[in-house]
């Protein structure tokens, strides 16, 4: 029996959007596109819970990531390629691959390999376990090659994707409203934004929890509503798209980090035809050309951010 080409280890419960028809009420999911294009098989946390294999049960005691990694290890012979959606599942799976001396089959997407602990772990594992290591910013590629020591030919950098059929200007969109929009939670420097907007006769909408229609989405704790700032949470994708469409422009105040914090929102906003103002975080330096695709201000500089606004 011929092996299927690709196995994807998806480190979460299945997303109903994976099977949705597009275009629709939500943007296309990157994993859904991979499944469609590659005719891939997906294993996720639900498969771990259903598994009766004793090794999976033992690994599951260490956590769901380890259970999923063990399930993938046991089924690796059925596939030519294995794709790991992030280092959260990639690291446990690499440990098991290394122990089994199973090399050259796995490709991992590394979102953030820059913490000292993670760099040390990546160095200890070496590069033999990986067929390819993917990242979404040039700075992260530098970290993986120069700091971690992975061979440059194994580290592939590509830019963050965006569903251009969902996030795009439409004739039915309202004219830009009277507010400036900001969104996201990871490594957001909202205190600097709050200082920058004081005294401005401009309304700001801030969605400080990312975007999700699901309950319980944690909100950033470093910004509060004020006279001209409204803090929201839990937007659906359709509501997020409408928020972009109605904004004058979109601001991404970022901490100085070496991974691509904020990149998803930046790409969505630009796909919607919106100007962006971005902090000069190293992790997104290759996404915005100053004065061309956006305005770039120094990290933590409230005065510069206010002038750009």
Distance CA 135, CA 33 (A): 18
Query: pTM, whole model, 2 decimals?
Result: 0.87
Distance CA 243, CA 239 (A): 6
Distance CA 55, CA 96 (A): 12
Q: Report whether 230 contacts 203 (CB < 8 A).
A: yes
* C-alpha to C-alpha distances, 151 to 105, 128, 131, 133, 293, nearest whole angstrom: 16, 10, 11, 10, 32
Q: What is the DSSP letter of 290?
A: B
Asked whether the bond before 23 is cis by omega within 30 degrees of 0, the reply is: yes
Tell which residue, 139, 125, 114, 123, has the closest CA to residue 92: 125
Neighbours of 268 (CB within 10 A): 24
Positions in the chain whose pLDDT score sits under 50: 1-2, 19-22, 212-216
Neighbours of 64 (CB within 10 A): 19
pLDDT of residue 216: 47
Alpha helices in 161-236 (DSSP H): 190-197
Q: Is 1 exposed, middle or buried (0-12, 13-18, 19+ CB in 10 A)?
A: exposed
Tell which residue, 302, 247, 300, has the closest CA to residue 270: 247
Compute the residue count for the chain.
309
Q: Is 69 exposed, middle or buried (0-12, 13-18, 19+ CB in 10 A)?
A: buried
pLDDT of residue 153: 96
pLDDT of residue 124: 87
Point out which residues pair with 83 in neighbouring strands. 8, 107
Sheet containing 4-9: give its strands across: 41-43, 4-9, 79-84, 106-109, 130-135, 155-157
pLDDT of residue 16: 53
Alpha helices in the chain (DSSP H): 30-38, 45-50, 54-60, 64-74, 87-100, 116-125, 138-142, 190-197, 237-246, 263-271, 302-308
């Amino acid at each position: 029996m011929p092996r299927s080409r690709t196995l994807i280890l998806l480190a979460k419960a299945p997303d109903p959007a994976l099977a949705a028809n597009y275009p629709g009420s939500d943007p296309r999911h990157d994993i859904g596109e991979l499944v469609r294009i590659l005719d891939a098989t997906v294993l996720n946390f639900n498969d771990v819970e259903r598994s009766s294999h004793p090794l999976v049960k033992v690994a599951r005691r260490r956590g769901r990531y380890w259970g999923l990694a063990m399930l993938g290890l046991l089924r690796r012979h059925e596939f030519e390629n294995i794709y790991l959606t992030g280092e959260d599942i990639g690291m446990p799976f690499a440990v098991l691959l290394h122990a089994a001396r199973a090399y050259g089959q796995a490709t991992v997407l590394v979102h953030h390999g820059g913490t000292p602990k993670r760099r040390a772990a990546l160095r200890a594992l070496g590069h033999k376990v990986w067929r390819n290591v993917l990242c979404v910013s040039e700075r992260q590629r530098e970290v993986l090659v120069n700091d971690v020591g992975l061979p440059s030919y194994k580290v592939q950098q590509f830019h963050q994707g965006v569903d251009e059929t969902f996030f795009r200007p439409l004739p039915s969109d309202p004219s830009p409203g009277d507010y400036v929009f900001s969104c996201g939670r990871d490594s957001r420097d909202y205190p600097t934004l709050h200082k920058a907007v004081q005294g401005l006769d401009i309304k700001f909408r801030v969605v400080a929890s990312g975007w999700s229609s699901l309950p319980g989405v944690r909100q950033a704790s470093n910004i509060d509503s004020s006279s001209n700032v409204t803090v929201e949470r839990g937007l659906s994708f359709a509501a997020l798209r409408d928020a972009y469409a109605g904004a004058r422009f979109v601001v991404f105040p970022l901490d100085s980090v070496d991974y691509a914090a904020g990149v998803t929102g930046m790409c969505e906003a630009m796909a919607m035809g919106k100007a962006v103002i971005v902090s000069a975080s190293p992790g997104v330096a290759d996404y915005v050309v100053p004065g061309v695709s956006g305005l770039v201000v120094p990290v933590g500089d409230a005065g510069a951010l206010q002038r750009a606004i």
